[in-house]
A = this chain, B = another copy of it.
Amino acid sequence: MTDRNFSSDNVTPACDAVMAALNAANHGAVPSYGNDEWSVRLKALVGEIFEKPVSVFAVTTGTAANSLALSQLAPPFGAIYCYEAAHIVTDECGAPEFFTGGAKLIGLPAADGKIRPQQVEHAVASAIEMGVHHVKPAAISITQATEWGTVYDLSELAAIGAVARQRGLAVHMDGARFANAVAHLGCTPAEATWRRGVDVLSLGATKNGALCAEAVVFFDAARADAFERRVKRAGHLWSKQRFLSAQLLAYLEHGLWLKNAQHANTMATSLAVGLQGVAGARLLHPVEANEIFIALPETKVAALEAEQFKFYRWPVGDAGSGVSIRLVTSYSTTQDQVNDFLAAAAR
């Protein structure tokens, strides 16, 4: 039987190229703590991909990448503006507060997961008026692709960048699914980041083919000052760091990351298109990356569950008489798996 797990892109194995790279790196004595050739090559490669000299720090998890990045951008008494249901707000067990020493995430409402510059502007103006009694405006954090599988387009990004510049805020992008967003946008990585005002990117790889690798990318080296000590004191500097860098190298070389993401996006679109033919189905968000939020009749959902399909019932709030569920595709999802799901949904 085909694998029927659409619960998340983090239930996947590592892709072959990444695993091969890991095995290839496993020979001989190699300098520890990042003083190895893989780590050096990684920095160069990320610079090439983003068309700019960068500072790159490979870490193990997205939570670490996000929280470390934010701790560099906001003081303990700082405000970080973000979507009120962003991953950093709801799914990281307070990691940003821990790493920043207590900075405050100011959650802004956003039906499609995309915050608007006016919201930030309003919040900053209010903060300034309150003065010392309120946390100090410091940063914006956006998720790309968003928690709802939507993608900020280039003009939306530019607008966020503009308000940030105007108000002296740094911009962080949680790119756990950055590859999916870039594949959707069809632009260069540079166009989707620093050319639109992004200062620091959490570049995800784990969901898209790595075992355990993310990278914090600073587009201005000056912003990365002493960052390596934040990594170290959080226990996120590996002694055998080559094994982390090697994963990212394989992931980023030869465009593998975008190929994987494009595939996941295509599978998601295929699934979404097919599901829209099901009676009572209603897409809750545009499918722009590799996540589908869709309302289906309760009986349909229960039937799919009974057939061992794995996915989350995911309250979105406007599922009407149906049940809203989340389906996630990945680099390893096959058209057969999609067809299998669609066939079951049609039954």
- The residues of A with any CB-CB pair to B shorter than 8 Å are 3, 5, 7-8, 10-14, 19, 22-23, 25-33, 59-65, 67-68, 75-77, 90-95, 97-98, 100-104, 130, 132-136, 206-207, 211-212, 226, 228-230, 232-240, 243-244, 310
Let me know if A207 and B239 touch, CB within 8 A: yes
The distance from the CB of A24 to the nearest CB of chain B, in whole angstroms, is 11
B28 touches A3 (CB 8 A): yes
Residue of B nearest to A207 (CB): B239
B-side contacts of A7, CB under 8 Å = 29
Closest to A210 in B: B240
Choice from B90, B102, B240 contacting A212 with Cβ under 8 Å: B240
> Which residues of B lie under 8 Å from residue A136 when comparing CB positions?
226, 229
Q: Looking at the complex, which one of B3, B28, B94, B236 makes contact with A61 (CB distance below 8 Å)?
A: B236
A95 contacts B234, CB within 8 Å?
yes
Instruction: Give Cα A23–Cα B90 distance, bound, in whole angstroms.
Output: 33
With A26-B19, A212-B240, A236-B64 in contact, is A103–B94 under 8 Å at CB? yes
* Contact between chains at A101 and B77 (CB < 8 Å): no
Number of copies: 4
Which of B32, B75, B97 is the one whose CB lies under 8 Å from A11? Answer: B32
Q: Is A76 a contact of B64 with CB atoms below 8 Å?
A: no
Bound-state CA distance A8–B136 (Å) is: 23
Given contacts A61-B239, A103-B97, A211-B243, contact A90 B22 (CB under 8 A): no
Chain B CB within 10 A, most for which of A27, A32, A62 = A32
Please state if B98 and A10 are interface contacts (CB–CB under 8 Å): no
Pick the contact of A237 from B61, B65, B226, B236 — CB < 8 Å? B61
Q: What CA separation (Å) do A132 and B230 show in the bound complex?
A: 9
**Which residues of the other chain, B, contact A92 by a CB distance below 8 angstroms?**
133, 232-233, 235
Are A132 and B229 in touch, CB under 8 angstroms? yes
Q: Please tell me if the beta carbons of A98 and B102 are within 8 angstroms of each other in the complex.
A: yes
Task: Take A75-B226, A93-B133, A104-B94 as given contacts and tell me if A243 and B29 are in contact as well, using a CB distance cutoff of 8 Å.
Answer: no
Cβ–Cβ < 8 Å partners of A30 in chain B: 11, 13
Q: Contact: A235 with B232, CB < 8 Å?
A: no
- Check B31 against A11 for contact (C-beta < 8 Å): yes
Which of chain B's residues has its CB closest to A101's CB?
A: B101
Known: A11-B29, A32-B8. A235 touches B77 (CB 8 A): no
Shortest beta-carbon distance, A127 to chain B, in Å? 9
Show 6 residue pairs from A and B whose CB-CB distance is below 8 angstroms, ordered by the A residue. Answer: A11-B32, A13-B240, A76-B98, A98-B102, A136-B226, A211-B240
The answer to whether A102 and B91 have CB atoms under 8 Å apart is no
A97-B104, A104-B97 are known contacts. Are A130 and B233 too (CB-CB below 8 A)?
no
Complex Cα–Cα for A76 and B76 (A): 10
Assess whether A10 is in contact with B77, with CB atoms less than 8 Å apart.
Answer: no
Which of A22, A31, A239, A243 has the most chain B CB atoms inside 10 A of its CB? A239
